[in-house]
Structure 1
Amino acid sequence: MAVMIKRQELSVYVEHYGICLEDRDTSWMPHPFPDGYDPGVFLKPFPGRLDIRSAGHTHTAHFTVEVWDGPVAEPEGDWDERGTASLRCVSGQLRLHGTSGGPATDDVHLPQAPATWQVRLLCTGRAEVAAETLHRAADNVERYTAQFWPAA
């Protein structure tokens, strides 16, 4: 059974529906965010980054990041969206940021670097944030859980 190594709670400012988890060291990446961003795809991997399509235009989203020592089952819940991807991280730190705004207050710290990680991304609150951001900015209505474990 997999053991959780760490858990982080983060908030990120979303604009233009876009969010990214990106290696802090972008020097090796052929396309830093937002190059190639596809606003129609919930989760799209690139070398060194994961692009995420939010359901709200302008708001603050809540992110829970879990790092595990092995594959883990999907947590129970009524998830609106889910996706999986592999992510190579050279620096051991990921920045969480919107399309044009600055990064979240803290980086995501991975215990091994360089390493390739399997990532499961889950989201809830999408319909609510889509409706609310038509009229005003929302705060922590859209909630993400990102689970990381070492790729085989």
Structure 2
Amino acid sequence: MEEKHSIVVTVINRAGVLARISSLITQRGYNIENVIGAPTEDPNVYKVNFGIRGTDEQIEKIVKQLNKLIDVIKVEDISHKKNYILREYLIIKVKAKTSTRTDIFELINVFRAKILDVAKNFITIELSGPPRKVSRFIELLSPYGIQQYIRTGEIALRE
């Protein structure tokens, strides 16, 4: 069954490495749903997290191909692993009439989100947490009117 997989790729930080990885994935007909990369404790080493939709077998093939790239140190599909902490970050701008602000503030408190800005007709909020929590927060704010939002996609850290 096709599902979203979280692939963590550890690479040597060289120009073009992200382009080569992305090209390998997309040339095989897979869409990258999200990508986040950042340096590790070693500035010469980056970790790049990809969200890719496919079957277990398809993702296994991608992992094997990625492992063949020169600047790749390690590739891991962490989708079914329990020893990782997964988080996403969200910034969302919600319509906030006087009559609905109290309800929105309650949701902010329940989800332990943070208010970034309050304007006459909008509230801008940030939230970090597991992907399901972020999705649920967006879903519960939808009836109030979401002006816009952006979310990072998953980042992962081994426990």
Q: Which has the higher helix share?
A: 2
Higher relative contact order (Cα pairs below 8 Å, separated by 6+ residues): 1
Q: Which has the higher strand share?
A: 1
TM-score normalized by the length of structure 1: 0.25
**Higher gyration radius (CA):** 2
